[in-house]
Structure 1
Amino acid sequence: MSPLASGPQGPTTLRPLLTTVLDALTAGAATRDGPLPAGGPTEVAARLREALGDPFPEHGDEDALRTLVQALAAGAADPADPLCTAHLHCPPLAVATAADLAASVLNPSLDSWDQAPAASELEALVTRALAAEVYGETGQARSAGDALVTTGGTESNQLALLLARERHGHTQLVCAANAHHSLRRATWLLGLPEPVTVPAPAGTMDPAALGEALTALPGPLLVAATAGTTDAGLIDPLPDIAALCETHGARLHIDAAYGGGLLFSDRHRPKLDGLARAHTVTLDLHKLGWQPIAAGLLAVRDRHDLAPLGHHADYLNADDDTEAGLPDLLGRSLRTTRRPDILKIAVTLKTLGRTGLGALVDRVCERAAEFAELIHRHPRFELHDRPTISTVLFRPADATDDTVAAVRRTLLTEGRAVLGRARLDDRLWLKATLLNPHTGADDLAALLKLVEGHTPR
């Protein structure tokens, strides 16, 4: 009979399996030998199919753990490789990953207290501490704020729109052209009107255009601003936007899935001035927080806004159980079964503290500034702009968009470097999002040299 991960024999059973996993990860990375497997989709798929064989054989294979972990590692894009910089996809901290293993072993589900006694209390304490980080440490904001754990920015943004609709009725979303695609999708899912889009001429929302829109539109209105755009890591003028919302009686949501991590840095936190004036804020700690996926949050300034999420299922939150003091967890999410993603977040916050996390934020922002300076001084490259957070956009000088796209795909196919792409100012740019605090100056120079070497003269 197959052994269990939990229970008295769990640690004894897991120990040799963890060695197998770690050895397979090492072997797979050695086979890959770079940030991405070489060969492109067809070759990578063929190697994986060969390793997998029959996905569901008649008789089991005791070597499946080693085989499949090694195959997955060999075919992975490694966010810890300094040349893997395409997306908001961070290398997770070892301590957070270890905590995630504990969560998997214990396997609590946060849909009723009797499935997650300690985890439910841990979630309540840590989410309120993070809400206080957004809305302030003292006064009424601290007692009124709260945060929900989500699967990421998409779920957080959808919840923000849902809460606005439930609080104010058939709400009209107003956002800029730089807003995350999940906001537009959320209006469709929730049956809300098509969003009104205002210009973002320099990559950020134009306050004058927003003011005109708010003046012309009937309410109720929800403005969604962005603190850390996906394409360039730009931050909308939050104080101006907040002031306009207050003047026009509009609700404000700020999508800080990327930029929210700046809260941990004394040096960069001022870039988020105005954040605390939002009714709801999206955070993603599996971006600038170095958590294994998923680690999203939605912070709310007034926890009473969460009331519409309340739901009753007698087998999970019977009235007499709630009256007897058992916490009601169903109003903490639209999901029922929920793993305790809060554990890895709590372990990270407690282990590193604000100083330690802030140092990581400062380091990746510094690396981005260094990379931008390297590009700026290079005669064969064009820099889009100095980075606001840790995203740098650049392109070979005088190259066509087709050349830019081809260089990126060639590096991907060869497994040499993973760069993203972004279209701004009607041109295609290569995108490097630096989230690895261990990336050094030599790594940045090597990345630029690779791009230069693959660009036709």
Structure 2
Amino acid sequence: MIDTGRNAALAGRPEGLEQLRTLLDTALGALGDAALKRGGPLPAGGPDAAVAAVREAMGGGKFLADEPSAQRVTDLFEAYATWAADLTHPSAVARMQCAPTAASAAAELLAAVLNQSLHSWESGPFALELERQLIKEMASWVGFGDEASGTLTPGGSISNLMGLLLSRDHALKDVDSTGPGSGEVSRAGLAGRRIRPRILCSAAAHFSIARAAGFLGLGRDAVVTVPVDDRGRMLADEARRILGGFAPDEVPVALVATAGTTDHGSFDPLPELAALAAEYRIWLHVDAAYGIGALFSPTLAPLLDGLAQADSVAFDLHKFGWTPASSSVLLVRDQRHMDCLDQQAVYLNPSDDEAAGFTALLGTSLQTTRRSDAFKIAASLLTVGREGMGAWVDACHERARYAATRIAAIDGLDLVAEPLLSTVIFRCRPADATPVEDESAWNAAIRRKLMAEGRALLARTKITGPNGRPQVHLKLVFLNPTTTEEEIDGLLTDITAAARELAESEKVL
């Protein structure tokens, strides 16, 4: 029986640990039962069924009820497990969202029970030092030296935001030094500066780059998109042309390269862009949120040649890395560029405590209270090891290559291109006997049909077709190294069956 109300205990206390054992049995039982109930990566029923499931689990009551209920806790566990997307299912190929290792999940539980934070030494001394050492090792992964620094963040978008924050302060500190807005931007602000900041990124860059420009006061219009080739890779010559054409008041803040685009998994030409950034003395930020997986593979690692010349690198280990979200990282080649984040708070990191070695990580992050994400990352890395990480990345790459080969051979499916990492883009093509009026709407409906029936979770995107118009395409994202070729064949059979059923019914959902 789960204790509730006044009998509920704090997790770290002896009586709380006993309650936790009971709750863990309930939770693990819910996970096992859910796998049997689902049948696919998600229960059938679509959005209406998901809404109804939440209402049923709550029993029509409020979250903060007058009378706590052990049964409602059990119902909540069971419903959450049942309606969670099963990331271990071979047909869950919609998102860059991995299933975590058992070790990292156990570490997540321990971290939750102990609830350490990184904003003051006494809030988590081991957690603080663990992150410092992990950041140091990860900096060596990308080729940075001892002067590097970094931090863990809630996600790739925040890592990109922080990278551009550092680049903004670096690029604009001494610009327009005689104006009313001169000096460090984090202190003096942008008002009064007679300049137009510019951020260069590819047309295939992640949307978080433009959003970060808005958050940082530069404005989304400060982002200049550089043309790409047919696989979404930035054209370095075009970047050079744009830089050469800037007016005197246009100040380049950063050149953002993408290592692993969300669609093709393409890598911008890092050596060429690093040389260009050095020539123009521009901050080079590399968004490797997805592409960092290549680093672990001896075969794919050359895709990241030139990464060591970046000023900052963002990447996620809740994609390739098999740790629970959030496990994102920002690395900076020169730790001095993080000085703009430095903050003294007399109740958190007083100077005499810091001088005595009781140092915190308040000055490396946008956050104050911050969880110990390094713990679960360390647990996963220690469990899988470098060779294992490489083998898992290679397995996902091989699954994508197999899927692409099968798609190219199946009548009614059109492959866009061979996969570069672990994404596969394709579209369904209607048979001559059953023409479809709007093929984009039909492809989108195929995806929704598979989701609503709980048979498969696919991604979608838009790719410009031969007619020059963007068309809806479907996308498979392989991050599960245990998926078999037979399971991929079964997934493609489900996709073609759903396409045929919709075409024959002449119904677009």
Shared fold (TM-score, shorter chain, > 0.5): yes
Match of residue 142, structure 1, among 140, 145, 149: 145
Other structure's SS at 1:144 match? coil
* 1:393-421 CA distance string (max 9 Å, x none): 01123571121111111111111100000
Q: Distance in 1 between matches of 2:14 and 2:21?
A: 13
The aligned runs of 1:22-101 (5 Å cut-off) are 22-53=28-59, 54-55=61-62, 56-101=64-109
Amino acid at match of 2:160: N
In the TM superposition, what is the alpha-carbon distance from 1:219 to its structure 2 partner?
Answer: 2.7
The aligned runs of 1:23-422 (5 Å cut-off) are 23-53=29-59, 54-55=61-62, 56-135=64-143, 141-169=144-172, 171-193=197-219, 194=221, 195-202=223-230, 203-217=232-246, 218-397=250-429, 400-422=439-461
Larger Rg: 2
Q: Distance in 2 between matches of 1:7 and 1:278?
A: 47
Q: Distance in 1 between matches of 2:499 and 2:417?
A: 21
* 1:308-367 CA distance string (max 9 Å, x none): 110111100111211222113211211011110100111111222211111111111111
* 1:80-130 CA distance string (max 9 Å, x none): 111010111111111111111111111101110001011101010011100
Amino acid at match of 1:301: R
* 1:268-316 CA distance string (max 9 Å, x none): 1111111111111111000111110100000111111111110111100
In the TM superposition, what is the alpha-carbon distance from 1:9 to its structure 2 partner?
Answer: 4.2
Q: Runs in 1 of length 4+ with deviation above 6 angstroms?
A: none
Whether the 8 Å CA contact 1:176–1:204 is kept in 2: the answer is yes
Q: Distance in 2 between matches of 1:424 and 1:224?
A: 22
In the TM superposition, what is the alpha-carbon distance from 1:27 to its structure 2 partner?
Answer: 2.0
Q: Distance in 1 between matches of 2:262 and 2:109?
A: 29
* 1:171-193 CA distance string (max 9 Å, x none): 42111111111110111111014
In the TM superposition, what is the alpha-carbon distance from 1:241 to its structure 2 partner?
Answer: 1.5
TM-score by length of 1: 0.96
Whether the 8 Å CA contact 1:21–1:65 is kept in 2: the answer is no
Whether the 8 Å CA contact 1:48–1:75 is kept in 2: the answer is no
Gapped regions of structure 2 (runs ≥ 5): 1-6, 173-189, 191-196, 431-435, 465-469, 504-509
Alignment correspondent of 1:427: 471
Q: Percent identity?
A: 42
Q: Distance in 2 between matches of 1:111 and 1:42?
A: 42
Aligned-pair Cα RMSD in Å: 1.4
Alignment correspondent of 1:15: 21
Whether the 8 Å CA contact 1:130–1:147 is kept in 2: the answer is no
* 1:174-220 CA distance string (max 9 Å, x none): 11111111110111111014211111231121212111111122433
In the comparison of the two structures, how many residue pairs are matched?
Answer: 452
Q: Distance in 2 between matches of 1:405 and 1:220?
A: 39
Whether the 8 Å CA contact 2:152–2:329 is kept in 1: the answer is yes
Other structure's SS at 1:431 match? strand
Q: Distance in 1 between matches of 2:384 and 2:34?
A: 30
Residue 477 of structure 2 is aligned to residue 438 of structure 1: no
In the TM superposition, what is the alpha-carbon distance from 1:37 to its structure 2 partner?
Answer: 2.1
Whether the 8 Å CA contact 2:344–2:350 is kept in 1: the answer is yes
Amino acid at match of 1:48: V
* 1:47-70 CA distance string (max 9 Å, x none): 221111212321010123321011
Gapped regions of structure 1 (runs ≥ 5): 136-140
Q: Distance in 2 between matches of 1:220 and 1:205?
A: 17
Amino acid at match of 1:302: D
Whether the 8 Å CA contact 2:118–2:360 is kept in 1: the answer is no
